[in-house]
Amino acid sequence: MDGKRILLIVGGGIAAFKAPALIRLLRAEGAAVTPVLTAAGAQFTTAMTLSVLGGEAAHEGLFDISTEAEIGHIQLSRNADLVVVAPATADLMARMAQGLAGDLATTLLLATDKQVLIAPAMNVRMWQHPATQRNLELLQGDGILTVGPDQGDMACGEFGPGRMAEPEAIMAAIRGALRDEPLKLTRESQVSRGPLEGRHVLVTSGPTHEPIDPVRYLANRSSGAQGTAIAAALRDLGARVSFVTGPATVPPPEGVEVIAVETARQMRDAVQQALPADAAVMAAAVADWRVTNAGARKIKKDGSGKPPVLDMTENPDILAWVSGLTDRRPALVVGFAAETDDVIENATAKRARKGCDWIVANDVSPATGIMGGTENAVTLIRQDGVQEWPRMGKDEVARRLAREIARALA
């Protein structure tokens, strides 16, 4: 995008918080960004934030004498290579469809001679309302490009289509528009495309339970929260996700293929059936051992004070097995290493021993308080180096890892 100029109009919705991330991605690829903030958008982000990240002043008012003395709104509308509206609220879409020009944003949209791309964002009922769908049809008939909205949880607590597409998906649409290959979506296909569109990613998650008897089992301390977040982040970038999960406490994400298993051997079989895949993210905390003489009935205490004798054997090493495949090995295999000491050294050795491409290592010693929590502090270990990430929410870890995967597969 070197030399390209994007006119970014930020509408008034909670999704405006994603605008700074979009600006960062645009600037990272060499694009210049001219921010325009609506009055409603200023309730959710600030002109200062957009100006600092964009590298130039954010525009807000139509009647600014310093710019309008030279008919500044016409210059803004014509100097851009592409006009992007993110978020495009129901109100903003309605005004665009009717050709209204009551503020700087709508005046720019009416005055521009350049391609326009919108990223709708609103409550699910507002999105599904016949008036919004009529406006969408009018806009698409006028040649306006759309990306999203996604399906998911809303800030209002509801679920469904209406979430603004993730910044990475909007970036993919921008690239397509600048190549004259727009990612135009219809009402029948409202889930946004992204950099992982057409890719199949396998994700394992949660613990496995290895029976001792019908009421007891061996397991690892895993809620499945990180694996679930990774599956959702990959889905949001357009991937088709096969989600193989053990008995986790966190519910699986919407919009992915869920394969529920209990034991390590069941997980291995499910992974085998889900292949081939472009990438595999092995986030499950698979039990290392299983009991070979598990009881068909509950094992009772016999009064001797002696525990029952449990014969143990190793479970299949799913990560090493996937990494060692020849004909159906994913192009990228990502393993996880939860360590309590010598984290980098142990995880680096594990990557070499298992034969995987990347290892995501995290310190789960009791002092960190991470195990089972909502945050994680990980280190991404690859053959070409080590990236230490700061402590952050598991959702953000997942989004960052998904972006790395998208770049690697590209």
Q: Over the stretch 239-271, which tens digit does the pLDDT of each residue have?
A: 999 999 999 988 898 888 999 999 999 999 999
Q: 299 or 357: which carries more pLDDT confidence? A: 357
Residue 319 assigned as binding residue = yes
Please state the pTM of the whole predicted model: 0.57
Q: Is 156 a catalytic residue?
A: yes
Q: Which of 151, 88, 162 is nearest to 128 (CA)?
A: 162
| Summary mean pLDDT of the chain | 86
- 280: tokens are 């595999």
Q: 116 or 63: which carries more pLDDT confidence? A: 116
Q: What local confidence, expressed as pLDDT, does residue 191 receive?
A: 39
Residue 288 assigned as binding residue = yes
**List of residues 6+ apart from 243 with CB closer than 8 A:** 203, 205, 227, 228, 231, 252, 253, 256, 257, 258, 259
β-strand pairing of 240-245 with 200-205 = parallel
Q: Is pLDDT at 369 greater than 60 in this prediction?
A: no
Q: What percentage of the chain exceeds 90 in pLDDT?
A: 45
What is the pLDDT averaged over residues 338-350? 89
Residue 336 assigned as binding residue = yes
Residue 394 assigned as binding residue = no
β-strand pairing of 257-260 with 240-245 = parallel
Q: Is pLDDT at 229 greater than 80 in this prediction?
A: yes
Q: At residue 121, what are phi and psi to the nearest 5 degrees?
A: -155, 120
What is the pLDDT averaged over residues 199-203? 96
**List of residues 6+ apart from 201 with CB closer than 8 A:** 234, 239, 240, 241, 242, 277, 278, 279, 280, 281, 405
**List of residues 6+ apart from 155 with CB closer than 8 A:** 14
Describe the crossing of helices 225-236 and 394-409 by its angle, rounded to 10 degrees. Answer: 50
Q: First and final CA of the chain: distance in angstroms?
A: 16
Q: What local confidence, expressed as pLDDT, does residue 295 receive?
A: 81
Residue 230 assigned as binding residue = no
Q: Is pLDDT at 160 greater than 80 in this prediction?
A: no
Distances (CA, A) of 18 to 21, 41, 163, 296: 5, 12, 11, 54
CA angle 239, 241, 243 (to 5 degrees): 160
Q: Is pLDDT at 276 greater than 70 in this prediction?
A: yes
Rounded Cα gap, residues 261 and 246, in angstroms? 5
Describe the crossing of helices 167-178 and 19-28 by its angle, rounded to 10 degrees. Answer: 50
Q: What local confidence, expressed as pLDDT, does residue 279 receive?
A: 97
Would you say the C-alpha torsion 340, 341, 344, 349 has a positive or negative sign? Answer: negative
Choose, from 52, 156, 331, 352, the residue flagged as catalytic. Answer: 156
Q: Write the burial class of residue 91 (CB in 10 Å: 0-12 exposed, 13-18 middle, 19+ buried).
A: middle
Rounded Cα gap, residues 229 and 248, in angstroms? 13
What is the pLDDT averaged over residues 7-29? 91
Measured from the Cβ of residue 31, the count of other Cβ atoms closer than 10 Å reads 21
Q: Is pLDDT at 70 greater than 60 in this prediction?
A: no
Helix (H, G, I), strand (E, B) or coil at 249: coil
Residue 298 assigned as binding residue = yes
Q: What local confidence, expressed as pLDDT, does residue 111 receive?
A: 86
Q: 380 or 54: which carries more pLDDT confidence? A: 380
Specify which residues 289 forms β-bridges with: 314
pLDDT band at 72 (very low <50, low <70, confident <90, very high): low
Residue 317 assigned as binding residue = yes
What domains, with CATH codes, occur in the chain?
5-178 (3.40.50.1950), 200-409 (3.40.50.10300)
Q: What local confidence, expressed as pLDDT, does residue 353 receive?
A: 95
Q: Is pLDDT at 185 greater than 50 in this prediction?
A: no
What is the pLDDT averaged over residues 348-368? 88
Determine contact, residues 124/87, Cβ cutoff 8 Å.
no
pLDDT band at 301 (very low <50, low <70, confident <90, very high): confident
β-strand pairing of 210-213 with 216-218 = antiparallel
Q: What local confidence, expressed as pLDDT, does residue 183 receive?
A: 43
Residue 44 assigned as binding residue = no
Residue 359 assigned as binding residue = no
What is the pLDDT averaged over residues 121-127? 89
Q: 186 or 84: which carries more pLDDT confidence? A: 84
